[in-house]
Structure 1
Amino acid sequence: MRVLITGITGMVGSHLAEYILTHHPDVEVHGLLRWRSPLDNIRSIYNDVSLHYAELRDLNSMIAMLEAVKPDRIFHLAAQSYVTTSFTSPADTLQTNVIGTTNLLDAIKILKLDPLIHICSSSEVYGQVTEDELPIRETNIFRPASPYAVSKVGEDMIAFQYFLSYGLKTIRTRMFTHTGPRRGDVFAESAFAKQIAEIEAGLIKNPVRVGNLDSIRTFSDVRDAVRGYWLLLEKCTPGEVYNIGGTQTMTIGEMLEMLKSMACCKIEHVVDEKLLRSSDVTLQIPDVSKFQNTTGWQAEIPVKKTLEDLLNYHRKRIARANMGDVK
């Protein structure tokens, strides 16, 4: 079996590649990346995967790459995934996430390939829900509150349309908040962890700068998420959409306090107005029963372990950088 992971150098893509190599060693793992993609996350598996340079926004490059790989399964994880950036670069976000996904699906159609295709949408498509809509089901209406969320609605719906119109075997997920080691430091929990590690190392001074701490999120670990993604293409039905998420719900402020309790010194924080969004999604609690009933998947890693590993990830990065400075 040949598996293609778009966005293999990201947090989720790299963990998924590691999961497949560890638990399914007979599977060929191929990864799509751009010429400027950082390779840090896949250094340990660089020689165990086949990497292909192509650009989602260039249909010709997608055709050439897919013709070379001819994958049996595709995990489409590549995206412009930072909500704040989508406000400053909305057209680029839409181009990457909607047109890029359309090019991927068009290339599959043009080449007459028949892979199972995981399309990674997002819980952000639901936007700001009301309390009577909790927990959020797959049938909830869309209220996208950012250009990123709009792009994920487009990606979600184009995948469904290509299933209906052309029979492409797309299966969509709407993943709720997931994090862990390698999380980009533009995301709240990773930004907090990085600042704490920098304060511990004496690189910056207190306080940690934060945004809205009242938002409610249900957290899951990226390593649980990728295990779920593998089960998705093993057991789920093309054309369907599935919520995936954890069971541990808390405010961003409570998550911050948990991280602060792990620090080696006293950590303070202050709200930075620049980190507040003009429109925000503050209530995300998923109903994942459809996915669990279909696959038997359960979130296993507690959020405390996830945050400890994320904090240690940043500590190790700082330590390595300091060793480099010494050299």
Structure 2
Amino acid sequence: MTKKCAFITGITGMVGSHLADFLLANTDWDIVGMCRWRSPLDNIAHLVPLINRKERLRLVYGDLRDSDSIDHVVKESKPDYVFHLAAQSFPQTSFTSPLDTYETNIQGTSRILEALRQHRRDAVIHVCASSEVFGRVPKEKLPINEDCTFHPASPYAISKVGTDLVGRFYAEAYQMTIMTTRMFTHTGPRRGDVFAESTFAKQIAMIEKELIPPVVKVGNLNSLRTVADVRDAVRAYYLLVTHHPIPGEFYNIGGTYSCTIESLLNYLISLSPRKNEIRIEVDPERLRPIDADLQVPDTAKFEKHTGWKPEISFEQTMKDLLDYWRERINQSAAFLTR
């Protein structure tokens, strides 16, 4: 019997790399990971021996902005399962590079799905949108369910509205098995340092190593977020495509621990032996023109369908994130202070 093949776009990112780890540990599937030729391999460095031995995991090079490359990798990999995770994923950057964000996220999704329609129409496909599509939500609509109106608060969020709608269009128009997710805040080891909780953890690790003064620079600390662990997130994505997938469905997924960004920062600081020395300073460059400040999900629909529930505690996630940055900082001092 031929083994199943999973195709992961954005395998070198935080989520893609953890998804590869999960699938390698919990399935016998072969995995094809798409990345750009210049993508850093730090997040999958521990998987390089498998790649070199051509053992279950291989990389293919493609760019969401290049239709020919996307067509080639889909035709070559012939996946049974597709996890479309690749994106320009940083909201702050989208304010200065909106067109690149739209091109990568909206048109890139369309290119992936069109290639699949042409070459692998029967694949089970996950299109990853974002909770940012809901944007500015009034308090009376919390927790946010799937029927909440889209009110995007950044070009990134607008691009993810497009991603969401393109996925649902292909499911309905071409009878493809495509499900869309709106994952709320998820973090943990390998989280990029442009995101709030990860830059906090990195700065604390640099303070502990005496590479910077004991000051953590921050943006808006008033946003309310519900935090999930990335390892719970990838388990949810696996269940999405394997547990009675329903073409065209869309789901909110997220954690159960809600707090302000300020509370999250204070918890990270409390884990440091230098907690009594650390000060907090607002950096205007870290502030967005507008912010999605109430991000609390109603995940009942997804939980009812799959039985999924988050298992990793907020405290464990924060500890693992800080330890990840401590390890990286111990290995090298060459880090930007962003």
After TM superposition, the score normalised by the length of structure 1 is 0.97
Displacement of 1:142 after TM fit? 0.4
Aligned to 1:135: 143
Instruction: Give the conservation status (yes or no) of the 8 Å contact 1:32–1:53.
Output: yes
Aligned to 1:193: 201
Q: Secondary structure at the match of 2:259?
A: strand
Aligned to 1:117: 125
Correspondent of 1:284 among 292, 295, 306: 295
CA distance in 2, matches of 1:296, 1:66: 31
Q: Which runs of 5+ in 1 are unaligned?
A: none
Q: Does the alignment pair 1:36 with 2:38?
A: yes
Q: 1:17-96, aligned counterparts within 5 Å?
A: 17-24=20-27, 26-48=28-50, 49-96=57-104
Deviates more, 1:203-212 or 1:313-322: 313-322
Query: How many equivalent residue pairs?
Result: 322
Tell me the amino acid that sits aligned with residue 300 of structure 1: E
Aligned to 2:240: 232
CA distance in 2, matches of 1:233, 1:74: 9
CA distance in 2, matches of 1:250, 1:145: 20
Aligned to 1:261: 270
Q: Does the alignment pair 1:304 with 2:315?
A: yes
Tell me the amino acid that sits aligned with residue 21 of structure 1: L
CA distance in 1, matches of 2:192, 2:41: 14
Identity of aligned residues (%): 52
C-alpha distance after superposition, 1:138-193 (max 9, x if no partner): 00010011000000000100111111111121100000000000000000000000
Q: Secondary structure at the match of 2:295?
A: coil
CA distance in 1, matches of 2:217, 2:333: 23
Aligned to 2:110: 102
Q: Secondary structure at the match of 1:208?
A: strand
Aligned to 2:53: none
CA distance in 1, matches of 2:115, 2:242: 23
Correspondent of 1:252 among 254, 261, 270: 261
Tell me the amino acid that sits aligned with residue 4 of structure 1: F
Q: Secondary structure at the match of 2:79?
A: coil
CA distance in 1, matches of 2:324, 2:247: 36
CA distance in 1, matches of 2:329, 2:225: 28
Instruction: Give the conservation status (yes or no) of the 8 Å contact 2:254–2:299.
Output: yes
CA distance in 2, matches of 1:64, 1:7: 16
Correspondent of 1:295 among 272, 283, 306: 306
Q: Secondary structure at the match of 2:115?
A: helix
Aligned to 2:331: 320
Instruction: Give the conservation status (yes or no) of the 8 Å contact 2:78–2:120.
Output: no
Q: Secondary structure at the match of 1:61?
A: helix
Displacement of 1:322 after TM fit? 5.5
Displacement of 1:318 after TM fit? 1.0
C-alpha distance after superposition, 1:209-249 (max 9, x if no partner): 00111100000000000000000001231100000000000
CA distance in 1, matches of 2:238, 2:178: 14
* RMSD, aligned CA: 1.1
Displacement of 1:113 after TM fit? 3.1
Instruction: Give the conservation status (yes or no) of the 8 Å contact 1:70–1:113.
Output: no
